Structure 1
């Protein structure tokens, strides 16, 4: 095993969810091709600069693009989560947050005249901020700092708008009968998620939450007197665990191909983030 390649334990965890080859001539070895993908997102190298030991770069790229469109890595992550949940290994004290990623100039070279294709958004999850083109990664992780759900948006998108769709993406299938688990025991978030609408959504679903209230919201509530309602509950001891999601982002951005976005499409970049998330799960199992 070389640097930036899958260990035997990581490959054993991922291999069952890689589609098998169909009819026709034998294809390149799966493990070698996946190692090429992992090398790419760990180092941030160009597809054309992949070492020869991974075979033709176009083979690795074509397979990666096919898996991204088919959602192979997303299904693999869900199945790994399902196995962990069946073993009682998921801490459902969920933290949500976001991080901004600078987009390289090569990622902005996608033509936009044709609009979206399939699940690809029209804007390719690219937004223009003060620093230039950016993408925002919204993340929900469990109490042990492992990703449960990922959502990509343009960099200028507000966190509060994406809170609800992010939680709705947290769907852990059951290994046996039953519907997927999609309701955390508790949600921790920072002040960016403090809104009446989001708190009402969490209460409606029966989800406890620890979200600090903004100062202007406190003043507005006090000025309204009795009509302002009761103060929101806030547990400082629980809120201290919010650093778990920050550590999760720190590990994900250890992949150079994630810390800077080089992929032109949101579909490919989300697949890269999902593959990195699978490797984070593999380290903890």
Structure 2
């Protein structure tokens, strides 16, 4: 299933894509696509999308989850990205968080924060937790995954690296977490380690890789994280970005107002964001 939320900010409805890619109104069966609702996904599988009301003009597509308890990220999870960052490949997953107030729709503008000169892009595979995971094994880790989504882990590098404290400061500005357009349920993603990921900036491909190149797989990440915390339904894990970010270019290249990012994970849908200056 491909599930989504459509409508203006704060008034989104829940939808499902049919076989032709049309949006169907799912709100009578699922009023809110949130973490708690992920427990009902099995009930939705019996619904024929063709029997749902057709949404002729869905308009804006919102973040594919209405509320996210925690937004976790894995750093340096592609070897070439670690190299372009001037760091050794990690021996275990590097974990950090984004504020959930950074969530935005996949086609909403990315707002460059006031004073920022180093706002950067990162295409990532997003993992959506479907049921609690605590002390789970690698063998059973994927049983706790509800689905997957495309993520752009937008980052302000000066705030992240040059200021004191944790990376979260450079990861959490409003609009720095576009997710979607769809939440694709796990049964429609037979192998999360076989997905092409790419990002084009102003029409030029700057990131192009495959999740098979991840240092730590989805099952390893979920199992590892569950040893330190209890993952909750609706938690999102952004699993790392490949080489090609602006920070790694020579000379470095960062977002300026008017720049356009097109962000794709195969089978999970594409995003498009224009960078705009904060008011």
Q: Is this a same-fold pair by TM over 0.5? A: no
> TM-score normalised by the shorter chain: which range applies?
under 0.3
Normalised to the residue count of structure 1, the TM-score between the two structures is 0.23
The structure that has the greater radius of gyration is 1
Normalised to the residue count of structure 2, the TM-score between the two structures is 0.23
Give the structure with the higher percent helix.
1
